[in-house]
A and B are shown apart, each in its own frame.
Chain A
Amino acid sequence: EDQVTQSPEALRLQEGESSSLNCSYTVSGLRGLFWYRQDPGKGPEFLFTLYSAGEEKEKERLKATLTKKESFLHITAPKPEDSATYLCAVPTYNTDKLIFGTGTRLQVFP
């Protein structure tokens, strides 16, 4: 069964304290892995797409990496405005339907 698991559920960081969020997946024939940011009461905002193991993408303080079993979202020197829930998702086999993990709720304190 296709599945996406994110850890940790919640993460509290001091401003400037770097860390990583994990997304492990089980899917037949990976056709992409997507990272989103979601602020409270809003829709998810697209961050990255990764298509193959070894691929990396960066945006400001965020860097996403992909292996054959998992993806990491690395946050370098985070700021309070990085506080949000981060979601990852993969398309199910042979369809465009995305299955989502339950997310990691990140809080960055000054």
Chain B
Amino acid sequence: DGGITQSPKYLFRKEGQNVTLSCEQNLNHDAMYWYRQDPGQGLRLIYYSQIVNDFQKGDIAEGYSVSREKKESFPLTVTSAQKNPTAFYLCASSLQGKDGYTFGSGTRLTVV
């Protein structure tokens, strides 16, 4: 079955560490997105990519980095520069805006 796989489901990070969240899709979608979700706030866009080897910053890109070396994969690195990384991270993909996005099941990141 086609879909988006995010891993791990839960991730714990120590202060000063970089961590990478995985996002893989087999939907043959061109565009991929990373959102952050905090309690009481809407989904906020971190980065997005519309084609391989190209990506753009979203509204809250500081402290994050991404790569898009393959169409299927769009990993997100949370760097030590991100001061408040504890959140629920969602990856999504779309076929250039048709019928909205398909979301993964999310990764909950906690700083310990």
Contact = CB atoms under 8 A, between A and B. Distances in A.
B100 A45 contact: no
Contacts of A59: none
Nearest to B44: A100
Interface residues of B, number: 28
Nearest to A92: B45
A42 B31 contact: no
Interface in A25-58: 31-32, 34, 36, 41-46, 49
Interface size class of A (residues with CB under 8 A): 20 to 34
B78 to A, nearest CB: 18
B7 interface: no
Interface in A75-101: 87, 89, 91, 96-101
Interface of B: 4, 6, 31, 33, 35, 40-43, 45, 48, 50, 58, 88, 90, 92, 94, 96-97, 99-106, 108
Interface of A: 4, 31-32, 34, 36, 41-46, 49, 87, 89, 91, 96-103
